[in-house]
Structure 1
Amino acid sequence: MHAAIENLYATFAHCRIGDDFTGCDCCVGPEHSEKLAAPPLRELTYEDLERYSRKAMSTWGNVRHFKHFLPRLLELSIEHRDDFLDLAVVFGKLKYAQFDSWPQRERDSVDRFFCEYWEYQLDEPIVGAFEDSVDTVLCSLASALSSVQRFLDAWIVKRTDNATRHLAAFILNNSDTLLTKGCLSNAFWDTSGQPHAEVINWLQSDAVYRFADGPDDPVLVDDFAYAWSQLVAIRSALTVTEM
């Protein structure tokens, strides 16, 4: 991912912080802005930027300022995925900043990072069947982008043990709400949006059904084994919901 991160810094290097970086008078003092504006961008820590990540553009700075900090925010999301109040808020700032209207070079740079970040998440070893790391990242990508189909397509062709276990965990983490409400469980999903519909349709696809080797898949042991029966039930429940 190093090359993708370096590309972000190069792409957004023209977005200088300037002398107009201020926030809402009631909650962001000049000293807070100065603390972020003074150091070199790469030296800012998660602790430095966490508060800004929640307030960016809504009550602190503008789109240019957000673009200035974006490479560092995305870089920090690798190590601090679960430390931010919610990664969906951080990534969702892209939609707030009307990312789809940005220059092509900027969009391509962010897309490159997201694709490599997704591959990194799918390759990451998973500890338990109810670990929600991939669930968090997929929902966060959906908060930023108008479509997540390419990430689902990349998942289904990545036939590795880790990718299979991540799929099992994703199914188990979402099974209750999928079975009872026909939607994904993370509260940051826009259930009326295209990304949510893409995931729902994907879960019903034959490609997902064939991804694992049935209930006896040797990769899906212990709690992971419950994912197969849950997937069968989810497919049935979603079909009934659509009728």
Structure 2
Amino acid sequence: MNLEDTPARARLDRALDDLAVTFHGMTARADETQCTCHWGGADELALLKVPDLELAPDLLRRTWSAPDWSDHGAVLRRVLPQFARALVGGAEAVTTKAEVGQSFARGRWQQWPVRQRDVVEEFLHAWWAHSLTAPAPAIPVHDLLVLCAEASATLTPWLAAWEALDHPTADRHLAEAAAIWTRDLLDDELPWPTWHDEDPLRTELVTWLARHAPIRLRAHDTLLHRIRLAALPTPARWEDPHWPVPRLTPSPAPPAPDRRSGT
């Protein structure tokens, strides 16, 4: 069976198709302008006022990431079907995920007409559900959480979906994410730059980890100590017998192939 032939992938494909149908024919505003020195030329701007025309990857990226459109929502609707497929396919894998989520937030998609809002929300949830059980998602789960949280201004539904999922791959993603997040959480910092109120997001993340991780990560003693310490207030954290926190040992690299034997 094709590893991508799963109910979660089918749901994601439907969500992508719904984006294409819902935002078919959308364009930027006729009077939309952009800086020719820093963004691009008039010919490129004109392409955004033509519906459904595929954009070159560089133009697509400059378009969704530009912070100064007069109507960012209209521009985002124009590129969203292509943009969503590029994201799912990993074409934007090197992009800061907070920046992608903030582009959604700038578009104020949660204030769009009901049908448009619903298909964007379903796309994000379908993508999240698929990535949680995908062995090697194009965007790592810890990065995708940043994208979804910045796009929606909340962690709650994304963490709830993760907690409800009893799956070994989701647990592996959790261990990888927690190892990255605790570096900042131990310093009382949110592990990504945010447009939203940082303290409630950080508190929710560390509280969720402290409650949920011990159930799923029993074999990760050092990581669990880091999570528990991050959830402690200071100075209790520094007075704990497990402080200073031990470093996490990276997994050993696989042995190099023996070229003499042909393996």
Structure 2 length-normalised TM:
0.73
Instruction: Indicate which of 24, 42, 45 corresponds to 1:30.
Output: 42
Gaps of 5+ in 2: 1-11, 237-263
Give the distance between the partners of 1:62 and 1:169, measured in 2 at CA.
Answer: 34
* Matched AA of 1:238: A
> In the alignment, is residue 140 of structure 1 matched against residue 172 of structure 2?
no
Specify the alignment match of 2:229 in structure 1. Answer: 236
Instruction: Indicate which of 167, 182, 188 corresponds to 1:160.
Output: 167
> In the alignment, is residue 108 of structure 1 matched against residue 121 of structure 2?
no
- The structure, 1 or 2, with the larger RCO (C-alpha pairs under 8 Å, 6+ apart) is 1
* Alpha-carbon distance, 1:157 to partner: 2.1
Counterpart contact for 2:155–2:204, Cα < 8 Å: yes
Query: CA-to-partner distance for each residue in 1:182-218, whole Å, 9 max, x for gaps?
Result: 233233475626444322221121x332123x12xxx
* Matched AA of 2:35: C
Gaps of 5+ in 1: 216-226
Specify the alignment match of 2:251 in structure 1. Answer: none
Counterpart contact for 1:182–1:238, Cα < 8 Å: no
Specify the alignment match of 2:58 in structure 1. Answer: 47
* Alpha-carbon distance, 1:39 to partner: 7.6
Counterpart contact for 1:175–1:234, Cα < 8 Å: yes
> In the alignment, is residue 210 of structure 1 matched against residue 215 of structure 2?
yes
**Map of 1:1-243 to 2, 5 A cutoff?**
1-13=12-24, 15-17=26-28, 19-27=30-38, 28-38=40-50, 40-41=52-53, 43-55=54-66, 58-59=68-69, 62-80=72-90, 82-126=92-136, 133-179=140-186, 181-188=187-194, 190=196, 192=198, 194-205=200-211, 207-212=212-217, 214-215=218-219, 227-241=220-234
Counterpart contact for 2:213–2:224, Cα < 8 Å: no
Give the distance between the partners of 1:68 and 1:92, measured in 2 at CA.
Answer: 17
* Matched AA of 2:44: H
Distance 1:132 1:200, change over 3 A: farther
Spell out structure 1 runs of 4+ moving beyond 4 A: 35-39, 188-191
Distance 1:230 1:48, change over 3 A: same
Counterpart contact for 2:15–2:119, Cα < 8 Å: yes
Counterpart contact for 2:190–2:201, Cα < 8 Å: no
Counterpart contact for 2:133–2:170, Cα < 8 Å: yes
Root mean square deviation of aligned Cα: 2.8
> Greater Rg, structure 1 or structure 2?
2
Distance 1:121 1:189, change over 3 A: farther
Counterpart contact for 1:36–1:49, Cα < 8 Å: no
